[in-house]
Chain A
């Protein structure tokens, strides 16, 4: 017992030391309100009496008010946004969430719900002094029906833990993303997270069967059905999936888990140009059909960023473009046959210049790790502008060379990578440090170009704090009006995650 205590303390102190090093080695990010020139709305301010109330429904240690304790909750992980919250609440169940929200609504206190804080658009950190509602302690798995594959769990469960849990029962989570070790299922639902296998298993509007959420007035909306078919009236769960905590707080989800594939293979290929990437995708769809579970691309600079900044091994030589193909199937022999035919054909045709293919779990992990690490690989080099956009495949990669040309040597690096299967590209622009001047060269330019190409300015990261002013590039005014009406209906005082998603009229 005591050993464990010491162990835990050591872990905690390690984390604290690491965080201190992290925060001390780099200046704190500028306050979001100053950086983006936002005015505080007319919300109440948290008083001593409010803190006492929170302590009465939670307990002393689940109400954080010490400046150092609260700081990590005020900053997003890409260190782009910094809020000024004074209090973090850590409820343990739906009832506590409900009580907190009702109280805040009555007192007109703004609330910022936070899951794993892995978002990329500043949606999970406060802007001013919103009360941070940390959902991490709602982390219980409630049930798993091993026959239907339906998992019911609380919002704070970490995606990777859930995946480990269901894998032991021959199922997998229908989504997988780079942040899986930190992100929480409630956050995934609230942001309609996409990820690496959307191509195969669809998005969360499909795989989430039911949701329990808390409305702004504290009412618990229990739509936690486990039925795949439920056409009884309006499909309310969809209001909470992807609305980024502005319509309600997701507290539980029921989610449909696909069967654990018996045969998994990963191929990693070098390709000479983007046109070849597209041709290879077309060929992969035809040859691999139903076993294709991911088709990812990354340009040389993107992979090189993982290799040089994080010192990860690249299993093959250097090529202008890389493609990662994954198959999920139920029969190793059947899959291997299909895959070999595909590889033979495309090695012969020259679309694949070189590559490697493996079914060994450890090697597959190494390859995936190289791809998944791209997102975080440049953070030590300076400031990273990150874009997550959908662009029709014909013009999918156009923006990267355009941005390189436009920015010239003002950018340390510009690279693109993403999910070809979903027309979703991530573009990262690395600059030595953030300046308004460079920012204005990039935004709204990127969004204008995406709009011209009929793409979406936010494919999977959401709108959050960073993109409301650009949402009109992808949504018409009448649609925005309906969104506002929904917001007014469900959260009349506007306390839930303010300054996010909806643009000022």
Chain B
């Protein structure tokens, strides 16, 4: 049976209004509520379901980040992951942590932990990179099934339905493989109280990127982060004739 490694990222909660730092170097994260990246929640849910269906033997959650990343890991454990690995990356290194680094960490851990499957969210809602699954697959030289909206196990292989432009694509891959979860893969559960309690006692191992031999030197430099332009206020016009006149005036008709 397979062991599943799930990547979970701590991001600003999607219900929180994002504010750009005055120096445009990034967004304000201090004192802002964070939670698990929603696509990663879907990935955890899928892994836990695999375990419940006895398609997986163990689910390991991995998160890279400062000490608060452990809260995100506890959430994954409360949802049903068996154990967690916290790869501690803090301070300036965390500010410049990029998909290539995370992919290298996940690839190394997959080998160390003898994982058969890596599942991550298709992208994180903060940087929207959508690169980690692909890079991890490349580093491991494993097949990849990205944007999965359905995952089925069929005699030692996986049948994956992918959401692509204009429809669905069904592919078959061998195991081991790297998968990324799309929105419609499942609806993640809420951690129940007994499981939240149990999660506190589940093993959580802390390692550093250095332990794993991964160099965190940044490859990309963020030049500037800016707010989208503010939408102009509309105006109410009295009748259709005025509308037509205005449209003509603006060269729209």
Please give the residue numbers on chain A whose beta carbons come within 8 Å of chain B beta carbons, in ascending order: 1-9, 61, 262, 269, 313, 315-316, 343-344, 347, 352, 354-365
CB-based contact A5/B192 at 8 Å = no
The residue on B at minimum CB distance from A61 is B238
Q: Chain A's nearest CB lies how many Å from the CB of B205?
A: 23
Question: Quick one: given A1-B232, A4-B232, are A359 and B194 in contact (CB under 8 Å)?
Answer: no
Most buried by B among A9, A61, A269, A361: A361
Q: Flag if A362 contacts B193 (CB, 8 Å).
A: no
CB distance from A265 to the nearest CB of B (A): 11
Q: Return chain A residues, CB-CB under 8 Å to B250.
A: 1-2
Q: With a CB–CB cut-off of 8 A, which chain B residues contact A269?
A: 193
Would B13 and A362 count as touching, CB distance under 8 A?
yes
Is the Cβ of B33 less than 8 Å from the Cβ of A355? no
In whole angstroms, how far apart are the Cα atoms of A6 and B233 in the complex?
12
CB pair A356–B243 under 8 Å, yes or no, is no
The interface residues of chain A lying within 8 Å CB-to-CB of B207 are none
The interface residues of chain A, by DSSP majority, are classed as helix
The answer on a CB contact under 8 Å between A356 and B235 is no
Tell me what chain B mostly uses at the interface: helix, strand, loop, or mixed.
loop
Whether A4 pairs with B193 at a CB distance below 8 angstroms is: no
Query: What are 5 A-B residue pairs whose CB atoms fall within 8 Å in the complex?
Result: A9-B237, A356-B190, A356-B191, A362-B15, A363-B190
Contacting residues, chain B, for A1 (C-beta < 8 A): 232, 235, 250
**Quick one: given A2-B246, A2-B250, A5-B234, are A363 and B193 in contact (CB under 8 Å)?**
no
- Contact A4-B187, Cβ < 8 Å, known A9-B243, A361-B16, A363-B35: no
- B-side contacts of A7, CB under 8 Å: 234
Q: Please state if A354 and B234 are interface contacts (CB–CB under 8 Å).
A: no
- Write the nearest CB–CB distance from B185 to chain A, whole angstroms: 16
Assess whether B13 is in contact with A361, with CB atoms less than 8 Å apart: yes
Inter-subunit contact B192/A356 (CB<8 Å): yes
B246: chain A residues within 8 A (beta carbon): 2, 5
> Which chain A residues lie closer than 8 Å to B164 at the CB level?
none
Interface residues of B in 43-66 (CB under 8 A from A): none
Q: How does the 8 Å CB contact mask read for B173-197 relative to A, with 1 for contact and 0 for none?
A: 0000000000000010111111011
Whether B187 contacts A359 by the Cβ 8 Å rule is no
Closest to B247 in A: A2
Report which of B15, B189, B190, B197 forms a contact with A365, defined as CB distance below 8 A. Answer: B15
CB contacts (< 8 Å) of B38 on chain A: these are 362
Query: Which 7 residue pairs across A and B have the least CB separation, nearest first?
Result: A8-B234, A315-B190, A360-B35, A4-B234, A361-B15, A2-B250, A362-B15
Q: Which residues of chain B have C-beta atoms less than 8 A from A362's C-beta?
A: 13-15, 35, 38
The 0/1 profile, CB within 8 Å of A marked 1, for residues 220-248 of chain B is 00000000000111111110000100110
Q: Does B252 contact A (CB under 8 A)?
A: yes
CB distance from B27 to the nearest CB of A (A): 15
CB contacts (< 8 Å) of B31 on chain A: these are 262
Which listed residue, B192, B194, B235, touches A8 by the CB 8 Å rule? B235
Complex-state Cα separation, A6 to B237, whole angstroms: 10
- Point out the residues of chain A lying under 8 angstroms from B252, CB to CB: 2, 6
Interface set, chain B 152-208, CB cutoff 8 A to A: 187, 189-194, 196-197
Most A Cβ at <10 Å: residue of B16, B193, B194, B197 = B193
Question: Which of A2, A4, A316, A355 gathers most chain B CB within 10 Å?
Answer: A2
Given A361-B33, A362-B14, A362-B15, is A5 in contact with B193 using a C-beta cutoff of 8 Å? no
